[in-house]
Amino acid sequence: MEHRFYTLDVFTNNRFEGNPLAVFTDGDGLSDDQMLVIAREMNLSETVFVQKPTEEEALAGCASSRQKKNSSSLGIP
């Protein structure tokens, strides 16, 4: 399984400082279990999966993309 992702440092103005997080720009089609496995493998405090809106969200005029965040609050160390 191949997915594009970026690592970012937040809450800092300097590279390699602050709080690192991973952003997966193609989270569509991943199950919750797959996202948890990926987040555990990343071993960061935050991992974000960006997803296209569902048909229901699109019809309701919601945001143009969704995100699913996996963090330590979901049982990830």
58: number of Cβ within 10 Å = 12
The active-site residue out of 2, 46, 55, 57 is: 46
Q: Is 41 a catalytic residue?
A: no
- CA pair distance 26, 61, nearest whole angstrom: 21
Tokens representing residue 53 in the block: 């809106």
With tokens 């797959």, the residue in question is 34
Which positions are annotated as active-site residues?
46
